[in-house]
Chain A
Amino acid sequence: MARVYNWQIGRQMSYWYPEARPKKQFAAVFDINKCIACQTCTLACKTTWTSGQGQEYMLWNNVETKPYGSYPLAWDLKLLESLGGQSWRENRYEGQTIFEAAPAGERVLGWKPTSDDYAYPNNGEDDCTGQVDKGAGFSIPHMNWFFYLARICNHCTYPACLAGCPRGSIYKRPDDGIVLLDQGRCRGYQECLRACPYKKSFFNPMVGTGEKCIACFPKIEQGLQPQCFLNCIGKIRLTGFISEPAKASADNPIDYLVHIRKVALPLFPQFGLEPNIYYIPPLHASLPFLNQMFGPGVEAARKTYRSASKDSDLAGLLCLFGSTESIVHRWRREGETVTGMDEKNSTLVRVPLTEPVYIRAAYDPKFQIVRTNCP
């Protein structure tokens, strides 16, 4: 095992291979507060990449309802339970990562889902929480909240799938950090299934190889956002590239949200993979639950997010989510206008900080008709 630095846990850790950061790292921010669990992202990916035989059960993108939903079943709970104590001292993780907790003879602490575990992709949907005017007929923990968690492969800096594969069939592209599974080399040992804590590597029983999210790399290579981002109805997602914390740049949208404003947080950073999908945590869910899921930065992130209405820069950048199919590499706000730029600094899109509102009279005298109330 090599020693590598993982900034998300504020310390060095053991990993199967030495630290080798890509030139650029594919990353994204998902604003959980805007997700409505319409599953359009799920379908966008499904129709694009996983409509074949043996892929029927496979959802490279899925949206689950927390705290009760999970796909595959209990993917998070099973590992959290076996990982043991996961305490933080400020921003430093004091427990073990899944690499450090690997039992003798294993490369990673993991577990392998079976077909049955994938059979309830949306179990616990909308199960919550409170509102219960006339009183609930039952009592469960977390009575009064729930939120939607959209998940894709995290294209981790320290992928467990890659560490787990004894054949070296999984690789991380040096140019953009996308983690791919070599379909010519895989022999279907399912070690990546066992190792990935997020359970975002799958086994195709009809082909006999592992398959996983490819970050829509043919689109990324053309400067375009992936399918599940483009089709997101709630405009919760923004694709980009993240720098290491010391090299963060305020005009890089992902750096700004993750490193500078610290409003977007990694999913289960304590696992130790340095995952690269960052989440703006939900405002109304339980703080201890969210601390376990997103680490110690949740309270500060929510405070910053709450202030967005009085913070033109933060609000401005959030307006760029879902505003263009292209990848926004840089951004700036000038007065009431927010501009997204590509890698060469050419303007991709301009959005107003405040959407103009037009009010039309209910009755149209010219056509002598009552207007329907649609935007």
Chain B
Amino acid sequence: MRLAFRLFALFAILSLLAGSACRNAPKTIGEVVAIPVSAIPSDPGDAIWDHAPEYAAAMLLQDVVDPRLTKASTSEVRVRAITNGTIIGFRLQWLDPRKDDTPGPGLAVDSCAVQLPKAVAKDLPSPQMGEANRPVEVTLWRADWQAWASGRGGNIRDLYPNAAVDHYPFQAPPLETGSAGQKEMSTRYMPAQALGNQRNGPRESPVEDLVAEGPGTLKPEARSGSSGKGVWTKDGWMVVINRKLPASLGSGMRTQVAFAVWEGSHGEIGSRKMRTGWVSLLRRAEP
């Protein structure tokens, strides 16, 4: 009798929980469905996301190319999608009890990415970064970029608050603070920046558009324009990536999409990542 009551109570609690979840989110579905909206919000917490159905993508180890990830971390990424006919927005959510947004030697930052085949076609390139002559487009979001886009400063003390620096040669007289001469001299010690490859430091956007034709070939896409925003709570990351809708993905049509998540506290970086295979993506027709 007592056992029966306990089972009943447990059932009642589970039903309540399930009910409250259902009120917030439409049911989990078997593919990513981008619902039509009139405007694309940048805030991951915007109420519009409640209208988009959620797809729970199971994540796989990147165990195809060396160096690989050999121990699994993030098991699932929950994805919602919206489109206004020009932009497609994805919201990725995953559990992560620790925020890793500080770069440094031996450190990795939390990141995620959305990948689409460049051509909307039946014949798909490899989901592992595409293939020669069959490129994929990737939009990458990084937690450290988010911190910089949200106002983190460009001084070493913004990363190492206790850093003590005696002197930088470009900060010595007669060079004046903020002068062109000072900038020119400081850039001499930053060849990557001089080549337009500043990976870290203050930036406006936390995302980057890329193309790839196979592992190790990733390069920035000349015509970019994506945007994004990530918010961390103790439940993990909620990240919005807004990028251009593939031109030939008409209303009611399907293409494929893949996702990747890097868990910073697990040392995941570059090819050491959790990823999905191709997942069907439907652009739901306007009602």
Contacts and interface: CB of A to CB of B under 8 A. Distances in A.
A302 to B, nearest CB: 37
B169 A51 contact: yes
Contacts of B215: 166
Interface stretch (B40-48, B73-81, B157-165): B157-165
Interface string A28-67: 0000000000000000000101111111110000000000
A118 interface: yes
Interface string A168-185: 100000000000000111
Nearest to A106: B67
Nearest to B220: A187
Contacts of B104: 114-115, 203, 205
Interface string A189-209: 111010000000011111111
Size range of the chain B interface in the assembly: 35 or more
Contact of B192 (A106, A115, A186, A191): A186
A183 B106 contact: no
B253 interface: no
Contacts, number: 133
A193 B106 contact: yes
A333 interface: no
B174 interface: no
Nearest to B142: A208
B201 interface: yes
Contacts of A284: none
Interface in B163-190: 163, 165, 168-170, 186, 188-190
Contacts of B169: 47, 51
A51 B269 CA distance: 27
A51 B185 CA distance: 10
Contact of B216 (A53, A114, A167): A167
B106 A188 contact: no
A205 B159 CA distance: 8
A105 interface: yes
B63 interface: yes
Contacts of A234: none
12 contacts: A54-B156, A56-B163, A115-B106, A167-B216, A183-B191, A183-B194, A186-B192, A206-B154, A206-B156, A207-B201, A208-B199, A208-B201
Interface of B: 63, 65-70, 103-108, 154-156, 159-160, 163, 165, 168-170, 186, 188-201, 215-216, 218, 267, 269-271
